Amino acid sequence: MSSTAIPKRMALNRNPGTDSSVPSIAPSPMESPRQSPSSTSLSSMASDAEATKASSKLLDTYGNEFKIPDYTIKQIRDAIPAHCYQRKAWTSLYYVFRDIAILAAVFYVFHNYVTPENIPSLPVRTGLWALYTVVQGMVGTGVWVLAHECGHQAFSPSKVLNDTVGFICHSALLVPYFSWKISHGKHHKATGNIARDMVFIPKTRDQYASRVGKAVHELSELMEETPIATVIHMLLQQLFGWPLYLLTNVTGHNHHERQPEGRGKGKSNGYFGGVNHFNPSSPLYEAKDAKLILLSDLGLAIVGSALYYIGSTYGWLNLSVWYGIPYLWVNHWLVAITYLQHTDPSLPHYQPESWTFARGAAATIDRDFGFVGRHIFHGIIETHVLHHYVSTIPFYHADEASEAIKGVMGSHYRTEAQSGWTGFLKALWTSARVCHFVEPTEGAEGEGKGVLFYRNTNGIGLPPTKIHAQ
């Protein structure tokens, strides 16, 4: 399947040098030479009109023109065949039992056969147990995705069954089910809204400048970020992104003073800021949610106690291999999947005044992870755009429903499906290098000023807007 979103995904460098194969970016109309104001010729007026028209275009990171979506949610929903909305409890339960059976079978085989008696070589045993952690991490991610289906009520028509299965599966993976379910629902209600979204909100130009210790007007002259700095940032994100999100709401919005019950007063993201997924008084929740938050905490306490018993009985090193490292793999895949669903040089973000649900839901992208994505991760990578429009459609109907909405979305449907699983991994690096902060397109007018696109300091794509020091 080819991308219908952007005809070219070519990195445009500001400093192309002598390499004629890399096109250069034309200066903005504000920087282009203009004729004297005294000139009144028709040609000069036409030239100015063309420059004004060009400056009003919205351009993504690579310079492709972006047009704001104009279709409705009703058009999306009407395009989806009726049977795609049907949820079947036994079908969903089959996948839960299948994944748990795979986890159990893999553990049984390794525990009984990858032993010093059967495999005397320590390096070989170590390599095989490393493979065990990778396999269990992938299958565990699949269980995470099925619990995610429960949180959206896409698992079955029964809310009780959904929440029971979701609570058990997520608690087993040390995820506070109800706490996450509530905050994740808010993410779906405000996807792409720079002020209200709950995950991977990009930094604005001001925020990024503050992080790197520079003035806002200096960003267009910053030196390139070193590859080693990018690698360190990626490692920290992949290792600690998920627990930090639960503990400090990192990557979520920080406008908690707006919480209608006043629970956000004086609270902010960060350590000891009072914003987390474990405290019933967190501004992420309302007072009516308190019992559910405590129930989520109880689930974690039960699983934590069981893990403590296993570690103290069978050895902490064994526990780290059996559960700990696979758990880190689950976290890695969860963060990578979510990050790449919402971070791409082609994707816009919106200020509240320019945001609508239909526009925000389109600010996502489908990717591909081959056999693992389709059959182990249950298609969460390949059908995420649809998921943001109708999150109650079960994953086994998502492919058909995705095809149905492409006709409505047209060029607004974004996919990197043709790149395969290697493209998915490559996209982690690309997004880390290219997607530093967001700002409006230079010269944008009207509601276009509230449509933000990624820019970077690595000289890739369109340069940041030139702002002169005051």
Question: Minimal CA–CA distance to 248: which of 268, 269, 264?
Answer: 269
SS3 254: coil
Query: Which pLDDT score, from 0 to 100, does residue 468 have?
Result: 64
Q: Can you tell me the distance from the alpha carbon of 375 to that of 369, in angstroms, rounded to the nearest whole number?
A: 10
Which residues are CB-neighbours of 126 under 8 A, at least 6 positions away? none
With 0-12 CB in 10 A as exposed, 13-18 as middle and 19+ as buried, what is 236? exposed
Supply the angle between the helices 290-314 and 159-172 in degrees, to the nearest 10: 40
Measure the CA–CA gap between 173 and 155, rounded to whole angstroms: 18
Q: What is the pLDDT of residues 27-67, one digit of tens each?
A: 333 333 333 333 344 444 444 444 444 457 999 999 999 99
Query: Tell me, what's the pLDDT at 209?
Result: 84
**Greatest CA span in the chain, whole angstroms?**
92
pLDDT at 470: 58
pLDDT at position 55? 53
Task: Please tell me the predicted confidence (pLDDT) of residue 210.
Answer: 84
Classified as helix, coil or strand, 340 is helix
Instruction: Output the pTM of the full model.
Output: 0.86
> What's residue 469's pLDDT?
64
Closest CA to 350 of 199, 188, 204: 204
d(CA 79, CA 404): 6
Least Cα distance to 414 among 388, 447, 377, 442 occurs for: 388
pLDDT at 42: 44
Report the alpha-carbon distance of residue 242 to residue 60 in Å, rounded. Answer: 28
Contact between 428 and 417 under an 8 Å Cβ cutoff? The reply is no
Which residues are bridge partners to 143 per DSSP?
none
**Strand pairing partners for 58?**
66
> Which residue numbers in the chain have pLDDT < 50?
1-54
**H/E stretch holding 9:** none
Q: What is the pLDDT of residues 435-454, one digit of tens each?
A: 999 999 999 999 999 999 99
Closest CA to 186 of 255, 273, 271: 255
Cα gap 179→297, rounded to integer Å: 9
Q: Which residues of 181-220 are buried (b: 16+ CB within 10 A; e: fewer)?
A: bbbbebbbebbbbbebbbbbbbbbbeebbeeeeeebbebe
Question: Residue 352, CB half-sphere, CA atoms under 13 Å: how many?
Answer: 5
